[in-house]
Amino acid sequence: MTTTSESSRRAFLAALAASGAAAAALPGVADARGGNRSGVGADAVLADRAPEVFHVESFPTPTPGTSYMFILGGEFHPLLDTTAYSKSLGEVQMAGVFYFTLSQLPPGARITEVTFAVVKSAFYSGNATLFAYRMTSGAITTLDFKNTNALPQQAAEQYVSLTVNSDAAWVVDNEQAATHWLVANLATSRLNSVRVGYIDPTPRPFHPIAPKRVYDSRLIAPLGSLASGSNRVISVANGYATDTTTVDVPDVVPAGATAVAYNITIVNTAGSGYLSVNPGDAATLGGSSINWFQSGQTLANGLVVKLDGNRQVKVFCGGGGSTDFVVDVLGYYR
């Protein structure tokens, strides 16, 4: 992670003191002069990252379609001149007031989650207060803060998530990337790591995936062959183990996807006819997606279709016959 310059720290500290934002929870801020910290360089961070303390799998379940940045507790910087702290290689044992700027986030990113992993045990017994701020043109806005007062004392890490809303204040400024600051008044608590979720503004139109079954009319509801003159809305959100009703890849097409590349296979055809695959909210059918000309055929075709807001498509049947069909997703667009 990129360290924050000493001048940025001073500017932030001065703005925080001037605003009085959360001063009661950050002792020393009101009187801080923003000078160099005694015996502490601006880049006094943990030398080796020790990724084993992230415990990424222990954080709450990630949100599909969200990008994440993980910050080790030892990568936070002392905020105040008087901060006394301890960082041992391979550990993140801290006390005092610390900060980290989210300058690594791409301009235009919308922050959707800030979750702190803290330890409040018999040894690290203090109650921490955890903040998110936005600094714009020297002015500070407190976005949210939470404390650990209600957490029980236990050896295992616990999670504190700030409340993130859809307000524009949570969007990283396009002109000044380092506008969002995390501050932790740890008292004698321990900060293991922080997970920051965000929506990446960079368009990534197509995301190819290994082919995955999302529907089979012989197994997955709504069941049964589709007859001419009828239609069926199906979801492409979840992936199924082939030839089973078991979901083994939830959200294989994540929320926010706008279209999918897919392969449609027709089996058990009767007579002749066609299927037309359309967005789930389509009122009428578009062009034919696949055709058959006699009973007992097995045919396949690959296409792209737009999705509705619920990751669904609508399949129309025409031409007089009926058929079962299978849909495999090859990738999605966002």
Q: 258-283: per-residue pLDDT in tens?
A: 999 999 999 999 999 999 999 999 98
Q: 91-135: per-residue pLDDT in tens?
A: 344 557 888 888 778 878 889 999 999 888 887 777 888 999 988
The domain over range 206-333 is classified in CATH as 1.10.10: no
- Distance between CA 229 and CA 317 in Å, rounded? 6
Name the β-bridge partners of 134: 141, 180
Q: CB-based burial of residue 146 (10 Å sphere; 0-12 exposed, 13-18 middle, 19+ buried)?
A: middle
Which fold is adopted by the domain 6-199?
Answer: Jelly Rolls (2.60.120)
- Distance between CA 91 and CA 118 in Å, rounded? 13
Mean pLDDT in the chain? Answer: 80
The structural domains of the chain, with segments of one domain joined by +, span: 6-199, 206-333
- Distance between CA 18 and CA 68 in Å, rounded? 32
pTM, entire model:
0.55
| Selection from 106, 53, 107, 57 nearest residue 75 by Cα | 53
Predicted pLDDT at 224: 96
Peptide bond between residue 222 and the one before it cis (omega within 30 degrees of 0): yes
DSSP symbols for 27-54:
TTTTT----PPTT--TT---SS--GGG-
- Distance between CA 239 and CA 155 in Å, rounded? 37
Name the β-bridge partners of 159: 117
Domains 6-199 and 206-333 share a fold: yes
Coil, helix or strand at residue 56? helix
Residue 204 binned pLDDT confidence (cut-offs 50, 70, 90): low
